[in-house]
Amino acid sequence: NIFSLIMHSSKFLLLGHSYSDEDCVSSMLAIALLLRKFGKCVVIYVKDRFPPSLDFFQKICEYNEIELLIKSTDNLEKPDAIFILDTPKPDMIALDEKILNFFLQKSIPKVEIDHHFSKDARHTGDTPYQLTLHASSSCEFVAHVCYKLSKQKIVLEKHGIGELYSRNIVLAILTGMIGDAKLGNYL
């Protein structure tokens, strides 16, 4: 379902939780890089600056033509689909009034990729687009999405994707996995 949505949509908005940590920021960046490989228009919104250890991710966004909005959504256009990454419940999503308006529109599909399971966790994505399982990080699921996609040779050829596992996608995935696993202690 997620692959079909990617193929049939053009503009994507990526959201995480307020006060984003390594796994949240890394999973947003990895998905953004993956979408850019398909020539999609991608916007990442964060309420707060990246953690200082991830400042270099902003340069990766710039280089890959991924629009990064920090606090302001003045120029944000209506997306075709929204990805919610590493966020276990709706009230934790980093958004403002404009994004909330998009979020509440049933015509905009919401994809949820998350690894959190607690008593008060609730799904935020639409049922056919929920990728939520037990794991040490959301980036593990991004890696799984990439792995499944790597087996789709015809799709990759059609879109001119020779190297799915680019340096920056691998860097983002590993950063999120190691960051959420307390430098590997919980992998």
Q: Enter the tokens of residue 12.
A: 């994507």
Average pLDDT in the 46-75 region?
88
What is the C-alpha R_g of the chain? 15
pLDDT per residue as tens digits for the range 20-33: 888 889 999 999 99
Nearest to 171 by CA among 58, 50, 93, 57: 57
Do 85 and 27 contact (CB within 8 A), yes or no? yes
Question: Cβ–Cβ contacts within 10 Å for residue 18, how many?
Answer: 14
pLDDT at 21 (0 to 100): 84
Average pLDDT in the 37-47 region?
95
Percent of the chain clearing pLDDT 90 (strictly above): 57
pLDDT at 117 (0 to 100): 59
Do 125 and 84 contact (CB within 8 A), yes or no? yes
Dist CA 38 CA 35 (whole Å): 5
The one-character DSSP state at 93 is B
Helix (H, G, I), strand (E, B) or coil at 70: strand
Query: Which helix or strand (DSSP H or E) is residue 25 part of?
Result: helix 22-37
List, in sequence order, every residue forming a beta bridge with 42; answer none if it has no partner.
Answer: 12
Do 17 and 93 contact (CB within 8 A), yes or no? yes
pLDDT at 124 (0 to 100): 72
Q: Enter the tokens of residue 114.
A: 């998350």
What's this model's pTM, rounded to 2 decimal places?
Answer: 0.91
Average pLDDT, the chain: 87
Residues 6+ apart with CB under 8 A from 32: 12, 14, 42, 44, 61, 64, 66
The residue whose two tokens read 């430098």 is: 183
pLDDT per residue as tens digits for the range 89-148: 788 899 999 999 999 999 999 998 887 655 555 667 767 777 766 667 888 889 989 999
Q: Enter the tokens of residue 163.
A: 């190297």
